[in-house]
């Protein structure tokens, strides 16, 4: 088994981290996205995750 995080492990790990922080984080269509982007960048950096590809949205499906 690899020591590298899988995509789903990274998502679950990120959510676990942001829900245990003291600082409040608001997310939604009417919220500023820069705070969560900074946290994503920090999480990816500390976990040595690759930067997203420029066209990553071409391969992404969103729930309805």
Q: How confident is the model at residue 45 (pLDDT cuts 50, 70, 90)?
A: very high
Residue 3 confidence class, pLDDT cut points 50, 70, 90: confident
Tell me the pLDDT band of 14, cut-offs 50, 70 and 90: very high
Percent of the chain scored above 70 by pLDDT?
98
- Residue 63's pLDDT band (cuts 50, 70, 90): very high
User: What's the CA gap between 59 and 9, in Å, rounded?
Assistant: 18
Q: CB neighbours of 36 closer than 8 A, spacing ≥ 6?
A: 18, 25, 27
pLDDT digits (tens, 9 = 90+) for 15-34: 999 999 999 999 999 999 99
């Amino acid at each position: 088994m690899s020591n590298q995080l899988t995509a789903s492990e990274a998502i679950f790990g990120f959510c676990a981290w942001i829900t245990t922080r003291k600082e409040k984080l608001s997310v939604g269509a009417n919220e500023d996205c820069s705070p969560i982007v900074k946290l994503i960048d920090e999480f990816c950096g500390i976990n040595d995750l690759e930067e997203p590809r420029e066209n990553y949205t071409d391969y992404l499906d969103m729930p309805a």
